[in-house]
Every structure is written in C-alpha cells, then in structure tokens.
Amino acid sequence: MTDLNVSVSRLSPHQECALHPSFKWKPVYNLECVFCQSTLCVRGMKAILLADTRVELYSTDLPPSGATVLVEEDYETRHCECRIKDIACALCGNIVGYHVMLPCHPCLKSCNNGHFWMFHSACVQPHERLDHNSNSILLWGSLPTSTQDDQMHSSDNLQWTECCR
C-alpha cells in the first residue's frame, strides 16, 4: 500500500482530473462515524497526506449530502498552504475531517487523487464496500461516478433530505 501511495507523487499534473490507473484497484470504503455510527461516506479511499506521508486518512470525491456539515471558519493547514474547513458529523457534531477549499500550489502540482474531502482515520470506522452483484469487494475502477452511484441516495440520506424540506 505504501509503495502505491509513494508512486502517486510522481504523476504529472495532467492526470489530476482523471482517476489514475493506480487508484483503480483500491477498495471502496463505507465510512462510519466512530462517535455515533452514522454513515459519513460511501465512497472512501484510503490515502496519505501528500504534505506529510506519515498521516493516514480517508478521502472521497463527494460525501453524501446531509451526512456531514462544514464548520464556518476556513484556515491554513499545518503542513502546507491549503485553505481548509473542518467537517463535522451532521448527527453528533464531532469533527471528523476537513474539506480542502483552496489547494496550495505544491499540492496541486504533486498528484493527488482528485479528492478534496478528507476524513481523519481516527474518527471513522471503515467498512469495505461490496459489489452488489457479487460478494467481492468493490474497487474504485468499477465504482460508478458520484452522480450515478445509487448508494449516494440511500434511504438514510433520503430521509434526511425529506425532513429538511
């Protein structure tokens, strides 16, 4: 796993938008809040922080709407000049990660997986997501885009949207 993440930093900036082949065999994780067990994310990827490779976290391209809330103030990270905002679990209010509002230049230049939503590994309980046809672990290479992903509109999230209308 570590080898894969190291190789990521050598990718050219042109590959930022598309999912690089090396990410395609990474498993997709459902992420649960460790404080209240609510589902925070259905498209998690295990990642490392580019600015500090000792930090392990989970990233996603898009969290389901209503699962997390952005905390008001944005600030600069300790590791680099990215502007970030903390994200909190919508149910229990604990800080579970952060959203990169404005990536800094070095971070944009070094290849990232195109994910700007991060979850601290200590705040989430990962569960490998299964393919719904077989019982094999779903990989990023076979994951539908966030708009076509029916898990993004699961009953839990739907209920949340309903009651907020």
Q: Binding Zn ion by CB under 5 A: which of 47, 48, 82, 87?
A: 82
In the set 31, 67, 84, 89, which binds Zn ion (CB under 5 A)?
89
Nearest residue (CB) to Zn ion, 22 versus 110: 110
Is residue 80 near Zn ion by the rule CB under 5 A? yes
For position 118 contacting Zn ion by CB under 5 A, the verdict is: no
| Residue 91 interacting with Zn ion (CB under 5 A) | yes
Q: What does the DSSP assignment read for 44-93?
A: EEEEE-SS-TT-EEEEES-PPTTTEEEEEEEEE-SSSS-EEEEEEETTT-
Residues 27 to 46: which contact Zn ion by CB under 5 A?
A: 33, 35-36
101 is an interface residue for Zn ion by CB under 5 A: no
Q: What are the angstrom distances between the C-alpha of 91 and each of 39, 97, 123, 156? A: 10, 14, 14, 12
At closest approach, how far in Å is the CB of 95 from Zn ion? 10
The DSSP bridge pattern shows strands 117-120 and 95-102 to be: antiparallel
Token reading at 9: 């930093």
Does position 92 interact with Zn ion (CB under 5 A)? The reply is yes
Decide if residue 123 touches Zn ion (CB under 5 A): no
